[in-house]
Amino acid sequence: MQYGHFDDDAREYVITRPDTPYPWINYLGCEDFFGLFSNTSGGYCFYRDARMLRLTRYRYNNVPADAGGRYFYLRDSATGGGDVWTPSWMPMKSALDRYECRHGMGYSKISSCRGGLAFSQTSFVPLGDTCEIHKVTLTNESKTDKNIELFSFIEFCLWNANDDMTNFQRNFSIGEVEIEGSRIYHKTEYRERRNHYAVWAVNVPIEGFDTDRQTFLGLYNGFDHPQVVFDGKAKKSVASGWAPIGSHHIKAKLGPGESKTFVFVLGYCENPEDQKWEKQGIINKKPANTLLSKYGTSEAADKALAALNEYWKNLLGRFTVDAEDKKMARMAGIWNQYQCMITFNMSRSASYFESGIGRGMGFRDSNQDLLGFVHLVPERARSRILDIAATQFPDGSAYHQYQPLTKRGNNEIGSGFNDDPLWLICGVAAYIKETGDYGILNEKVPFDNDEALADTLFVHLKRSFDYTVTHKGPHGLPLIGRADWNDCLNLNCFSKTPGESFQTTANFESGVAESVLIAAIFAFTGPEYVEICRRTNRAAEAEYAEKEITKMTEAVDQHGWDGDWFVRAYDAYGKKIGSRECEDGKIFIESNGFAVMADIGIKDGRAQKALDSVKEHLDSKYGIVLLQPAYKDYHIELGEVSSYPPGYKENAGIFCHNNPWVTIAETRLGRGNRAFETYAKICPAYREDDSDLRRMEPYVYAQMVAGKDAVNHGEAKNSWLTGTAAWTFVSISQYILGVRPCFDGLVIDPCVPSSMKGFTVTRHFRGADYHITVDNSAGAEKGVKSITVDGNPLVGTVIPAFGDNKIHKVVVTMGK
């Protein structure tokens, strides 16, 4: 069944009942300050780093689910104070006469009604500021006066989220707040090494406040029974240690039809080291005053929201789609791009599955995230590339992750994931194709974050390329190292110890285990490197690189082909993985998708055979599973992949990230029907009415959908932070709809289902706008018969980059 519907004109998903099969969330913020926000007002927020600078507390894996948020409690005095409820449904699970949550681009709106009192909450992070705004409006829809009491509630996190949930012997003694009028300041650790505090404020005078959790809730009460609210009176508690919270108590008298609006702001403020204090023990509130003075009225909040809407309208205006298939159009035109922004910002750090304390920015993840983001804000992609490249080692390998605050590589995980270096070439090539900015190659970028080791970005690319060239195994295929894209193929790990990290343990430095996937990634990104060399007058380097690519594809031909599909890898004993010789794990998706993407086997029919085998052995109703047969037992020589129960995660789950590789591969073969089928199967909008099984948000991709060996085949997990977002956007926009940036301009190369009779795409590209209409009344799957640009026939399929700030009309006719 459905729990809501899309509102495409508003670019919103409208949730119409609160008890969704899992909290359905949204992200607030698109620059430095972020909030996670569920359909029942759960979630938390942080400044730049979800681990180090978390403002509010959130309890992952809690019972009941989704514990922690920006809560509002209402109390209607007329009913003798008996009626207390939470208008966002949670945490009291209050019965509501009406409920709706609209998740939009960077904002969410919850509205509800109970006993004639309408409530609406609009939550967002304004552009350019480090705060969340929660605009709350109460409207008396009844025929009599109402005396309403409104209590706000947030629980402060003591900044370092990891410490916050582990170090109680210290934490229970350090909490500090200050209260000034309607403003509650959270200043734990400010007396020592922090120069930042949080402020939770409302723009009206208040009746009272509370800042001590136990006083507000009662020690043995949950969020669903706050004592203060039931008593109808704030206690003006001042937190000292234990758990500091922020709660305002507001009284609102409302005549019939009358509305009142309150603007709540939850902000992050910093002071220069020498200006921390107003006087001893009293924090300098200047930055808070400046921030709050901007959002003191509901008009100011509305203006900030309008600016945010305008921002998103412009961003999404850079690529729009119109087609008969509204599900595809809304995903490609709105939600997929939105998710690309979120993955760009978050990498894999903070979601309802990623705790925000675990992972920083991933080298391979962030490079791939660029692919779906670069057309939105190329300048930000550019600086991200430079940040990532600075975490590369001089030998071309790379820190697998880095911390967003310090931008330094993460020593705990280190390096040794041998696919990492190649993703840098992939990301930089995408950036140059989008922008034509070859200048980025001349930027001086440190190695290992050490300025003394800085060299040009081009040199970084060369080291990436050469790393693969110089790290090959016995079959001339790339050594896998700790793992390749599949973090769970840990072929040198040999772990027997429970809890030991599969990713970082290496008990067996075989120098033998090889990856066919890395070979294919090399064969796919290598030619981009060659193009970059050619276009920057590095002919000799281009020639060298071409030879290496040929060597690599020959190695795949000789040792990477299994008869009906591509082999996946060779283990530490030199035995095949992903071969009919294996008992389990006979066929894997990744090497097959990527090899065909790299054009390997296209000429001699192996590509087609490989993709047919993928369909035959790996396909399912909900997408293509990662491997078959699933590993039934733990294999010490394979690592984490065999640790999962069959059907989950990398052990034969539908690991959505690699499905678009098959989609793209299918378009290389011109099989538009099959390409689209693989696209649609994992596309959430097509499963909106199947939400009870899928469980995750119908507007975003999930990392994994349980595979056919799993009990809950079709159930999704890990929504939002997944490389699926970027790769699916690439597959639909560049390969199915076929509007693809290349070094010379925009290639027009659609590969669609024969039933798709046409579509239009608008694309902003290097300073001009292209309005592209594709006519497929011929019912073709691939092939362009003619193209006109501004009425003139185009020779070939590459539209030049006009860069003239004008709109260009492109008419494409598919067929022979």
* Active site residues per annotation: 487
Which of ligand NOJ, ligand BGC, none lies near 619, with the C-beta cut-off 5 to 8 A by kind? Answer: none
Shortest distance (Å) from residue 418 CB to ligand NOJ: 13
Pick 566 or 802: Cβ nearer ligand NOJ: 566
Shortest Cβ distance from residue 448 to ligand BGC (Å)? 22
Q: Pick one of ligand NOJ, ligand BGC, none as the site partner of residue 691 (Cβ within 5 to 8 A by kind).
A: none
Determine the interface stretch with ligand NOJ among 264-272, 313-321, 362-370, 693-701 (rule: CB under 6 A): 362-370
The C-alpha atoms of residue 543 and residue 594 are separated, in whole angstroms, by 23
Size of the site for ligand NOJ (CB under 6 A): 9
The answer to whether residue 486 forms part of the interface with ligand NOJ (CB under 6 A) is yes
Determine the interface stretch with ligand NOJ among 369-377, 426-434, 479-487, 542-550 (rule: CB under 6 A): 479-487
**Span interacting with ligand NOJ, options 300-308, 357-365, 597-605, 737-745, rule CB under 6 A:** 357-365
| CB of 657 or CB of 713, closer to ligand BGC | 657
Q: Is 114 left (phi over 0), alpha (psi -120 to 50) or beta?
A: beta
Instruction: Choose the stretch contacting ligand NOJ; rule: CB under 6 A; options: 240-248, 327-335, 359-367, 780-788.
Output: 359-367
Determine the 3-state secondary structure of 613 from DSSP: helix
Residue with smaller CB distance to ligand NOJ, 103 or 568: 568
**Cα gap 717→251, rounded to integer Å:** 42
Can you say whether the dihedral through the CA atoms of 754, 671, 375, 301 is positive or negative? Answer: positive
**Which has the closest alpha carbon to 486: 416, 415, 419?**
419
Site mask for ligand NOJ (CB under 6 A), range 337-356, x = bound: -----------x--------
- Nearest residue to ligand NOJ, by Cβ distance, number only: 487
Residue selected from 27, 37, 46, 485 as contacting ligand NOJ according to rule CB under 6 A: 485
**Which residues, including other chains, have CB under 8 Å from residue 756's CB and lie 6 or more apart?**
323, 324, 325, 672, 676, 776
Q: Are strands 807-814 and 768-775 parallel, antiparallel or unpaired?
A: parallel
* Shorter beta-carbon distance to ligand NOJ: residue 158 or 483: 483
Query: In terms of DSSP bridges, do strands 146-159 and 131-140 run parallel, antiparallel, or are they unpaired?
Result: unpaired
Of 679, 689, 681, 721, the C-alpha closest to 705 is 681
- Cβ distance to ligand NOJ smaller for residue 139 or 651: 651
Q: Select the binding partner of residue 365 from ligand NOJ, ligand BGC, none (C-beta < 5 to 8 A, by kind).
A: ligand NOJ
Q: Least Å distance between CB 645 and ligand BGC?
A: 12
Q: Which residue in the set 650, 666, 697, 781 belongs to the binding site for ligand NOJ (CB under 6 A)?
A: 650
Q: Choose the contact partner of 362 out of ligand NOJ, ligand BGC, none; CB within 5 to 8 A by kind.
A: ligand NOJ
Q: Does 487 bind ligand NOJ (CB under 6 A)?
A: yes
Q: Which of 294, 364, 617, 740 binds ligand NOJ (CB under 6 A)?
A: 364
Name which of ligand NOJ, ligand BGC, none residue 503 binds, using a CB cut-off of 5 to 8 Å depending on partner kind: ligand BGC
- Kindly tell me which residue out of 12, 365, 619, 688 binds ligand NOJ, with binding defined by CB under 6 A: 365
Compute the least distance from the CB of residue 295 to ligand BGC, in Å.
Answer: 39
Pairing of strands 792-793, 784-789: antiparallel
SS3 147: strand
Answer positive or negative: Cα dihedral of 38, 41, 47, 50: negative
Kindly state whether residue 568 participates in binding ligand NOJ, applying the rule CB under 6 A.
no
Q: Least distance (Å) from ligand NOJ to the CB of residue 651?
A: 11
Taking a C-beta distance cutoff of 8 angstroms, is the pair 42, 371 a contact? no
Task: Write the CB contacts of 306 (distance below 8 Å, at least 6 apart in sequence).
Answer: none
- Listed ranges 9-17, 358-366, 494-502, 758-766: which one lies at the site for ligand NOJ (CB under 6 A): 358-366
Sequence-separated contacts (24+) of 745-748 with Cβ below 8 Å: 745/798, 745/799, 745/800, 745/801, 746/770, 746/798, 746/799, 746/801, 747/797, 747/798, 747/799, 748/772, 748/774, 748/784, 748/787, 748/797, 748/798, 748/799, 748/810, 748/812
Q: Please give the DSSP secondary-structure letter assigned to residue 123.
A: E
Rule CB under 6 A: which residues touch ligand BGC? 487-488, 503, 640, 649-650
What are the helix (H) ranges across 648-768?
659-668, 672-682, 691-694, 724-729
Q: Which residues pair with 456 in a beta bridge?
A: 444
Task: CB nearer to ligand NOJ: give 56 or 366.
Answer: 366
Q: How far is CA 149 from CA 15, 79, 112, 204, 265, in A?
A: 27, 12, 16, 13, 19
Minimum CB distance to ligand NOJ, residue 461 (Å): 20
Nearest to ligand BGC by Cβ — which residue? 487
With residue 337 as reference, give the H or E element that holds it. helix 336-346
Among the listed residues 362, 421, 601, 698, the single contact to ligand NOJ using CB under 6 A = 362
Residue 65, C-beta contacts closer than 8 angstroms, at least 6 positions apart = 22, 23
348 vs 808 by CB, closer to ligand NOJ: 348
CB-neighbour burial class of residue 238 (10 A; exposed 0-12, middle 13-18, buried 19+): middle
Contact 745/801 with Cβ under 8 angstroms?
Answer: yes
Residues that bind ligand NOJ (CB under 6 A): 348, 362, 364-365, 485-488, 650
